Amino acid sequence: MKSALALVHGACVAGMLALAPPVLADETCNSPFITSLIRGQEEFLHVWTLGEKGVGDESDKLVTVDVRPGSPTFGKVIHSLSVGGRGEAHHLGFTDDRKYIWAGRLDDNKIFIFDVGANPSKPALKRTIDNLVEKSGFVGPHTFYAMPGRMLVQALSNSKDHGGVTGIAVYNNAGDYIGSYPMPVAGGGDGYGYDIAINPGENLMLTSGFTGWNNYMMDMGKLVSDPEAMKRFGNTMTMWDLKAMKPVSVLPVQGSPLEIRWALSEGRNWAVTASALTSKLWLIKQDASGAWQATAVADIGDPSKIPLPVDISIASDAKSLWIDTFMDGKARLFDLGDPEHPRQIYEKVIGSQVNMVSQSWDGKRVYFTTSLLANWDKKGDANEQFLKGYSWDGKELKEAFAVDFHKEQLGRAHHMKFTAATKQAALERSGSR
């Protein structure tokens, strides 16, 4: 795996350079290797959407919504690209040049590479990768995390027993398999995986853990009533030496830690995550001796009611954090001015259920989608499926538009990414490094 290790070495330097220039607007939760590649306001939202039986063509698809202010199609679907079948469409991630989006399916393990650079208003499918299981033994491609010339793919499960022990597969940008790294099972590790977050300046990578195929493909009602199944969730995070791609410490984090967000602004060298089953906000920070520790620092809603925090979005200055809770459909905003004592300062019901949240780099726009997993979404009328866009003035979320994915016959709206047609010219891409 020498080629991948050489890449990681160069990535640390490239990452620090990428963090240096100020960014006017972008999502705040992308890989730090691409945060300087877009200027100005986002123009299009791409939503990776689960096909739903009896809804439209029933196929998974990439849906594009126009979010250009003043556009005659603002807040409207302008393109939809079906990929065939229903394989539990889940997360998206840009390549390091931001020309392509990778999208994965947790059930059939297919990965789709979409060209969004040539014409962001009309993405094109360029390649389908179907060798993840064959090459790595991993199942459930979840997180797609860009590094220079490479894509890290964090899987959720394995092909041997469909449990939670898994690892990270590495591909080049063309979609060719390079190698893989197992999640640690020694030193307190449970082998589970979910999210990836890199701090290039500190040569650190942090990963979290969820659950395996046997659980995430099970009906939620059946799952929560199965005591043995409920034991099969991740309870650790792992800190890695990025250059060596080796685990250096395992941190106990009870209750399935999900998305990870580093505070990469100057003087704020820490990360946060939310644990789904215990409804806690956790701070990952060095102690006085320099050792990394994970500490529960705040409750998210009423943990006894299991509101199920599912996604978080940190502000670009790391001073606040949006947290979505699936069961009560709420978005909560936490003040992170003192990360050891976060406090909730705002909340709003977005719908009967809410999952993903993305905010613009300037913090003035916040977007929400609904679907968690096909077998975990609510039933009947509570199974709302939408994309909603809001403006945020520091005091109140004000709805700017809403797309009803059921009314539009699209399916279940899950993960989203921003693009902009006029801000991705090759000259700017090369000049931003």
Task: Copy the structure tokens of residue 291.
Answer: 């050792």
What's the burial of 398, exposed, middle or buried (CB within 10 Å: 0-12/13-18/19+)? exposed
Distance of CA 181 to the CA centre of its chain: 20
Closest C-alpha to 255, from 284, 280, 220, 223 = 280
Opening angle at CA 183, ends 179 and 188, nearest 5:
155
List, as one string, the DSSP characters of 205-244: EEE-----HHHHTS-HHHHHT-HHHHT-S--EEEEEETTT
Q: What is the pLDDT of residue 20?
A: 39
In degrees, to the nearest 5, what angle opens at C-alpha 48 toward C-alphas 42 and 49? 130
Q: Measuring CA to CA, which residue among 94, 200, 85, 93 is closest to residue 142?
A: 93
Q: How far from 226 is each of 85, 216, 218, 219, 230, CA to CA, in Å?
A: 29, 13, 11, 11, 6
Q: How many CB atoms neighbour CB 426 within 10 A? A: 10
Name which of 2-6, 88-92, 112-116 the model is least confident about.
2-6
Classify residue 355: in a domain, yes or no: no
Residue listed under structure tokens 């590495």:
170
pLDDT of residue 313: 97
Question: Where residue 38 sits, what CATH number does that domain have?
Answer: 2.120.10
C-alpha span between 281 and 164 (Å, rounded): 22
Tell me what pLDDT residue 266 has: 74
| Residue at 358 is within a domain | no
Q: State yes or no: pLDDT of 48 exceeds 50.
A: yes
pLDDT over 90 at 40, yes or no: no
Q: How many domains does the chain have?
A: 1
33 contacts: CB under 8 Å, gap ≥ 6: 11, 14, 15, 18, 96, 146, 147, 148, 198, 200
pLDDT tens track for 172-197 = 999 999 999 999 999 999 999 999 99
What integer pLDDT is reported at residue 26 of this predicted model? Answer: 60
Strand 236-241 versus strand 246-252 pairing type: antiparallel
The structure tokens listed for 184 are 């640690």
Q: Is residue 389 part of a domain?
A: no
Residue 214 domain flag: yes
Domain-embedded: residue 337: no
* Structural domain for 272, as ranges: 2-309
Regarding beta strands 343-349 and 397-404, do their DSSP bridges make them parallel or antiparallel, or are they unpaired? Answer: unpaired
Decide if 264 is inside a domain: yes
Residue 111 lies in a domain: yes
Residue 190 within a domain: yes
pLDDT in tens, 346-369: 999 999 999 999 999 899 999 999
Reported as a pLDDT band with limits 50, 70 and 90, residue 412 is: very high
pLDDT of residue 38: 65
Lowest mean pLDDT among 28-42, 58-72, 84-98, 301-315: 28-42
